[in-house]
Structure 1
Amino acid sequence: MAQANLLRIHPDNPQPKGIAQAVEIIRKGGLVIYPTDTIYGLGCDLHNARAVERLCQIRGFNPAKVHLSFICHDLTHISDYAKISTQTYKVMKKALPGPFTFVLEASSKVPKIGGKRKETVGIRIPDNNIALSIVRELGNPIISTSIHDDDEVIEYTTDPELIYEKYRNLVDLVIDGGYGNNVASTVVNCENDEFEVLRQGAGIIEDYL
């Protein structure tokens, strides 16, 4: 496999050419590391089973057991992939785009991962123009996981050049959208409309309830 490119994209006004390059790689089954409003993510096409398998392999996940997030560009297609109540929708509409992952009951349209259909799905709409532009241009969500650091003190790598050094022989593209944060998204379980915080991260869900 050829070494990945490190592609600089402006975080506020992403260059269409750079976004198109990232989207083409994802469409062809490639893996892309990209910035979000929290930490950097590793993503691929939701519908490409081999790419999802490769993503799991890089991160050391068991595909049958893994919980991955769907990165969406807005709320339009969420009902395609998740069962959502009016109350949960209202909270998500207020909180997104933002640093949250909402765990919902998966619909039958969610592709099998590792030969197994997932019962729940994490939905994420990051407040980041690069991530949103990629998903909008692609036309469907990307499956994503966080970029973790091996350092026990620093859990997440924030410097895109260091991320590139580590992953350039494993992925197809690393996007440099500036330094990332080192606090992940807040994960909220919305099953039964209870809004249970599974992981406290950058977002405060109580502000939107």
Structure 2
Amino acid sequence: MAELIKLYEENPSEKEIKRIAKVLKDGGLIIYPTDTVYGLGCDINNTKALEKIARIKGVKLEKANFSFVCEDLSNLSEYVAQLDSATFKILKRNLPGPYTFILPGNNNLPSVFKKKKTVGIRVPDNRIAQMLVHHLGNPIISTSIKDDDDVVEYTTDPELIVEKWDKLVDIVIDAGYGDNMASTVIDLTQPEPELIRQGKGSANI
């Protein structure tokens, strides 16, 4: 049974954030708010939790395109190859924000992602997401929770989310209604930025 925890983005309870971070550390799965849609996340360093998410999404873990949700730009260098100044300026200008940037990965990627040459980086403009990553001490692996309904692409109501995901996750954070538009995905591994998916963020970066 998933636990529904109410948090307010303006002033999230640090005690609850720490408790949720411990659940992540122990291999738990959570659904949490971002600056776009609600995300399904786990600790980047917990292989069993990563495998669970891959199973839920119906993908092979080593081929999965999950995002690395970071607190800020300072811990990017742990997982991303050296960036040129133009790329770094784009990141600095647009993050935190509703973007996923595809960047070249480095040798520090967790073993299950070693074969991947690129990594999708997110720094959501959301206090709850940032505090979770801060107290966890490393990025959260994340994927948006798609809806099965062809009309409603993303579920935005935490009450409905907990009904649907009750037996699949440990915690659902209720931070009010989420957005129904995912992040804009931009590939920065080529000489020119390439728009992969238009979402909430402007394509004009």
In structure 2, the residue matched to 1:106 is: 105
Hey, what's the Cα distance between the residues in 2 that align with 1:182 and 1:58?
A: 21
Is the CA contact (8 Å cut-off) linking 1:110 and 1:117 kept in structure 2? no
Structure 1 runs of 4+ aligned residues shifted over 4 Å read: none
The 5 Å alignment of 1:167-182 reads: 167-182=165-180
Query: Which deviations, in whole Å up to 9, do the C-alpha atoms of 1:7-42 show, x marking residues without a partner?
Result: 001121111111011101001011010000000000
Aligned residues: 204
Hey, what's the Cα distance between the residues in 2 that align with 1:30 and 1:172?
A: 6
Aligned-residue CA RMSD in angstroms? 1.1
1:193: Cα distance to partner?
3.9
Secondary structure of the 1:19 match is helix
1:116: Cα distance to partner?
5.2
1:101: Cα distance to partner?
0.2
1:186: Cα distance to partner?
0.2
Hey, what's the Cα distance between the residues in 1 that align with 2:18 and 2:184?
A: 30
Hey, what's the Cα distance between the residues in 2 that align with 1:139 and 1:117?
A: 24
Hey, what's the Cα distance between the residues in 1 that align with 2:16 and 2:144?
A: 22
Residue among 91, 99, 116 paired with 1:118: 116
Is the CA contact (8 Å cut-off) linking 2:105 and 2:116 kept in structure 1? yes
In structure 1, the residue matched to 2:90 is: 91
1:15 partnered with 2:13: yes
Hey, what's the Cα distance between the residues in 2 that align with 1:112 and 1:179?
A: 35
1:194: Cα distance to partner?
1.4
Query: Which deviations, in whole Å up to 9, do the C-alpha atoms of 1:157-183 show, x marking residues without a partner?
Result: 000110100111111110001100000
Secondary structure of the 1:64 match is helix
Structure 1 residue runs of 5 or longer lacking an equivalent are none
Structure 2 residue runs of 5 or longer lacking an equivalent are none
With 191-200 and 65-74 compared, the bigger mean Cα shift is at: 191-200
1:112: Cα distance to partner?
2.8
Hey, what's the Cα distance between the residues in 1 that align with 2:75 and 2:125?
A: 17
Is the CA contact (8 Å cut-off) linking 1:11 and 1:178 kept in structure 2? no
With the length of structure 1 as denominator, give the TM-score of the two structures.
0.95
* Amino acid in structure 1 at the alignment position of 2:43: D
Is the CA contact (8 Å cut-off) linking 1:87 and 1:193 kept in structure 2? no
Is the CA contact (8 Å cut-off) linking 1:31 and 1:44 kept in structure 2? yes
In structure 1, the residue matched to 2:72 is: 74
In structure 1, the residue matched to 2:127 is: 129
Identity, % of aligned positions: 50
Residue among 133, 137, 140 paired with 1:139: 137
1:117: Cα distance to partner?
2.3
Is the CA contact (8 Å cut-off) linking 2:107 and 2:114 kept in structure 1? no
1:4: Cα distance to partner?
1.4
Secondary structure of the 1:6 match is strand
Hey, what's the Cα distance between the residues in 1 that align with 2:75 and 2:192?
A: 22
